[in-house]
A and B are shown apart, each in its own frame.
Chain A
Amino acid sequence: KNEVEQSPQNLTAQEGEFITINCSYSVGISALHWLQQHPGGGIVSLFMLSSGKKKHGRLIATINIQEKHSSLHITASHPRDSAVYICAVRYGGSQGNLIFGKGTKLSVKP
């Protein structure tokens, strides 16, 4: 079965801490997405990557294709980073082939 596993499920941090969220998957993929879901429910795309590393502001995403693993890092965390972070992987050739992880709920305390 194709699966996407995220860890941890829940994460509480103090403002300023360095945060890492992990994503492991079991199939060969063409792309991996990191998404952020706000408390209101809307989802924003943070990164799409198929190799290496991407950086946007305080967020860094890495992927290791051989190990089937990706990490999302947040440097100098802030309460406004509190959200659910979702990993999703695209596999195969069909447009509908996208598997989502269950998400990691992050709470950053001031």
Chain B
Amino acid sequence: DGGITQSPKYLFRKEGQNVTLSCEQNLNHDAMYWYRQDPGQGLRLIYYSQIVNDFQKGDIAEGYSVSREKKESFPLTVTSAQKNPTAFYLCASSVLGTAGELFFGEGSRLTVL
């Protein structure tokens, strides 16, 4: 079955450490996204990518980095520069254009100790 796989589901990190969240899709989608969800707030865009080896910053990109070396994969690194990294992170994908349905992964919950 096609879908998006995120890992790990839960992750604990000490302050000052970088962590990488994995996102893999087998839907053959060109567009991939990373969102952050905090209690009481709507999803906020961190980064998105429309094609391999290219990506754009979203509204809250500071302290995060991404890569898109393969169409199927869009990993997110939460760096030590991110001041408040504890959150729920969601990866999504869609076909290009504005008429594409969104497909989401199950999310990764990051807790900084």
Residue ranges of A at the interface with B (Cβ–Cβ < 8 Å):
4, 30-31, 33, 35, 40-45, 48, 50, 86, 88, 90, 93, 95-103
User: Size band of the B side of the interface?
Assistant: 20 to 34
Kindly state the separation between the CA atoms of A35 and B96 in the bound complex, as whole angstroms: 19
21 sample A-B contacts, Cβ–Cβ < 8 Å, listed by A number: A31-B98, A41-B88, A41-B107, A42-B104, A42-B105, A44-B104, A45-B101, A48-B100, A48-B102, A50-B99, A93-B98, A95-B98, A96-B33, A96-B56, A96-B58, A97-B98, A98-B102, A99-B42, A101-B42, A102-B41, A102-B42
Encoded as 1 (CB less than 8 Å from any A CB) or 0, chain B from 39 to 50 comes to: 011111100101
* Interface-central residue, B43, B58, B103, by most chain A CB under 10 Å: B43
Docked-complex contact B31 and A95, CB < 8 angstroms: yes
Within 73-98 of B, Cβ neighbours of A (below 8 Å) are at 88, 90, 92, 96-98
- Known A-B contacts A41-B88, A43-B90, A93-B98; the reply to A98 vs B103 at CB < 8 A is no
